[in-house]
Amino acid sequence: MNAFIDLTDTEQVQELVAYTAELLAAEGFEAECAALVEAGQTAQVLEKLIENSAVYYKGDKDVESIFNSISRLLFMNQDSIGLVQRLSSALASEAVAGNELKRMKVLGNVFNNLDRSSPSRFDVYMSLLSLAGRAEQVKALMGQFGKIDEWITEWGISKGQVRDLYRKVHEVLAAAGKFKESAQYLVKLLKTYDGEDAAGLSGAEAEVRQLMVHSLKDPDTFELSSLASLDAFAALPAEDPAKALLMVFKEGDLQGFQSWLAANPTTLGTLGIEEGDLTRKVRLLNLQFLCAESKVVGFDEIATRLGITIDEVELWIIDVIRAGMVEAKVDQLNSKVHVSRAALATFDSSSWADLAAQLNVWQENITQVQRVFRQVETKIIEGGR
């Protein structure tokens, strides 16, 4: 409910000023604002109310209705754009504690009252994200995240603002423990660097490293070719050991990984990655590649490639099947694995070339079948005459 009902706009401004002056206990504040109202400078009065809005949390009136009153008045003012930004910042201020849900509701109202194409929606939403993150209320906003790309187009914001938005969504999701969802927005952020020159890519290094570490640490992430193919990946120096690690990992090269470990004994610790966890992932990826190479794989070959004993092979086959990387049946009697499917762990330009070649063969086969059908059809027609 509005804090000041049944009042004209001017009367509402006057009541807000009087209430603010009372809380501030500042002499001259009310008179100064009254003079501005008289001069038709209501925007400056609203700006003063927003600047001193922290006092409303100490008053006896509902802060949500107070801020809703201010937002309604500023939308009726010609200079509302700058005021919207100030109000959003004030509502999301870290200097204020408590009333987070009410402040989020007001920010939501401001956002919804702005025109869909208004760039100010960006400022309001950034404040809303910041406040939701600190209040641990990100879940309340997640249903909107699917609209973000559409909003970016509607708002017509700069590339820098797009990056700020993706970065903020990533940060609040990561802080809320939604790591898989947060990584998606880190990827979106890094894709904005596609086509940038070396100078432009330099700003992506921190996020590239962050995404790489997350992907390597995530026990369910095995496909890293898409990360390595991003233009932003070039932001990492060529001599960077972490960059070399990703290249070795994505190839599922166990021996290469072990050589990298020997050459960089402290790097995993610096990155916060457990050696045992990453070794397991490399072995699973290696096993996936091995199963993709042949429909029947012997236990002895698996043991050799993975550096394990024969007795451990079945456990690794179970793990790779559980991970959804391979579909296979174990022939314990003959110590073999019969592979029905092994997804490619990488899909690069050579993979596209292989697929294109297969499609060409299929097209030729279909053409030949169609030719045979036409010949048979001709013979049937001629035989019936």
**pLDDT tens-place string over residues 279-321:** 999 999 999 999 999 999 999 999 999 999 999 999 999 999 9
Q: Which residues pair with 336 in a beta bridge?
A: 298, 331
Would you state the pLDDT for residue 82? 84
12 compared with 312, residue with greater pLDDT: 312
Render pLDDT for 180-189 as a digit per residue (tens, 0 to 9).
Answer: 899 999 999 9
349 has pLDDT over 50: no
Would you state the pLDDT for residue 40? 84
The residue with tokens 């330099």 is: 202
The least confident of 70-84, 183-197, 243-257 is: 70-84
| Distance between CA atoms of residues 143 and 181, nearest Å | 12
123 has pLDDT over 50: yes
2 has pLDDT over 80: no
| Distance between CA atoms of residues 226 and 112, nearest Å | 36
268 has pLDDT over 90: yes
Would you state the pLDDT for residue 372? 66
Nearest to 138, CA basis, from 171, 183, 115, 94: 171
The residue with tokens 């201010």 is: 70
Would you state the pLDDT for residue 76? 80
For residue 59, is it left (φ>0), alpha (ψ between -120 and 50) or beta?
beta
| Distance between CA atoms of residues 380 and 385, nearest Å | 9
| Distance between CA atoms of residues 283 and 39, nearest Å | 76
Q: Mean pLDDT, to the nearest integer, of 147-158?
A: 96
Would you state the pLDDT for residue 376? 67
Angle between helices 159-175 and 120-134 (to 10 degrees): 20
The residue with tokens 């939403």 is: 125
Task: Please state the pTM of the whole predicted model.
Answer: 0.79
pLDDT tier, 383 (very low <50, low <70, confident <90, very high otherwise): low
Instruction: Tell me the residue ranges of DSSP E strands in the chain.
Output: 296-298, 326-331, 336-342
CATH class of 228-346: mainly alpha
Q: The tokens of 168 are what?
A: 């903020």
Q: The tokens of 119 are what?
A: 């760039």
Q: Which amino acid is at 372?
A: V
pLDDT tier, 352 (very low <50, low <70, confident <90, very high otherwise): very low
Q: In whole angstroms, how far apart are CA 97 and each of 10, 106, 135, 141, 215?
A: 31, 16, 10, 20, 35
Distance, first Cα to last Cα, the chain: 89
pLDDT tier, 223 (very low <50, low <70, confident <90, very high otherwise): confident
How crowded is the C-beta side of 48, counted as CA atoms within 13 Å? 24
303 C-beta neighbours (distance < 10 Å), count = 17
| Distance between CA atoms of residues 335 and 298, nearest Å | 6
Burial 144-176 (b: 16+ CB within 10 A, else e): eeeeeeebbeebebeeebbbebbbbbbbbbbeb
Q: CB within 8 A of 297, min separation 6: which ones?
A: 290, 291, 336, 337, 339
Angle between helices 148-155 and 120-134 (to 10 degrees): 150
Average pLDDT, whole number, for the chain? 88
72 has pLDDT over 50: yes
| Distance between CA atoms of residues 3 and 11, nearest Å | 12
C-beta of residue 136 within 8 angstroms of C-beta of residue 96: no
